[in-house]
């Protein structure tokens, strides 16, 4: 399980790497930082949806690679494997959830709920990855899997409607 630490170190506001890993500071909220981090990622989706599919995929790949480094470095600096305030992984996971979603607030909300559902409950293999894979890759990978699961459900719902 991810370690839950409910405070934001002062470095979040001084160190640009920590600031980004903490989702532009959204992960500094004491209660439910992952939810606040996901919420902070929502306004970016309409911007990414104006890109071509390859452009949106490039955003996800670059954000993932950056996130592996940002989250790993911040976790190492803080001495906590997966500080609850590190939410860059939620940004990428939610953006992945919304990759093929139609535009509109209802889809943004549906993707938000689905992503948080999978990220919080961590069904297999998400929970296994969360426990077994460490470092920046481990911090990112469980949210990427949650994003893929949420994307699959979102696409299934879209097909029904």
Asked if the structure places residue 29 within a domain, the reply is yes
Asked if the structure places residue 99 within a domain, the reply is yes
Asked if the structure places residue 5 within a domain, the reply is no
Asked if the structure places residue 128 within a domain, the reply is yes
136, 103 contact by CB (below 8 A): no
Here the tokens at position 156 are 């299934």
| Helix pair angle (135-160, 53-78), 10° resolution | 140
pLDDT in tens, 111-137: 999 999 999 999 999 999 999 999 999
Here the tokens at position 60 are 């996800």
- Mention every residue, 6+ apart, whose C-beta is less than 8 A from residue 35: 116
Range of the domain at 110: 11-160
Separation between Cα atoms, residue 134 and residue 36, nearest integer Å: 23
pLDDT in tens, 80-116: 888 999 999 999 999 999 999 999 999 999 999 999 9
Asked if the structure places residue 68 within a domain, the reply is yes
If one counts the domains in the chain, the total is 1
Asked if the structure places residue 6 within a domain, the reply is no
Confidence check: pLDDT of 157 > 60: yes
Separation between Cα atoms, residue 69 and residue 65, nearest integer Å: 7
Confidence check: pLDDT of 3 > 90: no
Asked if the structure places residue 4 within a domain, the reply is no
Separation between Cα atoms, residue 158 and residue 138, nearest integer Å: 30
| Segments in 122-160 forming alpha helices (H) | 126-132, 135-160
Asked if the structure places residue 91 within a domain, the reply is yes
Here the tokens at position 29 are 């909220």
Phi-psi sector, 10: left (phi>0), alpha (psi -120 to 50), beta: alpha
């Amino acid at each position: 399980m991810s370690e839950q630490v409910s405070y934001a170190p002062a470095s979040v506001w001084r160190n640009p790497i920590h600031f980004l890993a903490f989702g532009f500071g959204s992960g500094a909220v004491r209660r439910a930082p992952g939810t606040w981090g996901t919420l902070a990622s929502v306004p970016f989706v309409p911007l990414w949806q104006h890109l071509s599919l390859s452009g949106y995929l490039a955003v996800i790949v670059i954000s993932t690679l950056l996130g592996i480094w940002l989250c790993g470095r911040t976790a190492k600096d803080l001495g906590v494997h997966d500080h609850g305030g590190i939410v860059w992984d939620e940004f990428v996971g939610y953006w992945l959830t919304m990759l093929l979603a139609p535009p509109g607030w209802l889809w943004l909300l549906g993707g938000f709920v689905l992503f948080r559902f999978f990220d919080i409950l961590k069904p297999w293999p998400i929970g296994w990855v969360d426990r077994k894979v460490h470092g920046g890759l481990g911090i990112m990978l469980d949210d990427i899997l949650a994003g893929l699961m949420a994307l699959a459900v979102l696409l299934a719902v879209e097909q029904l409607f």
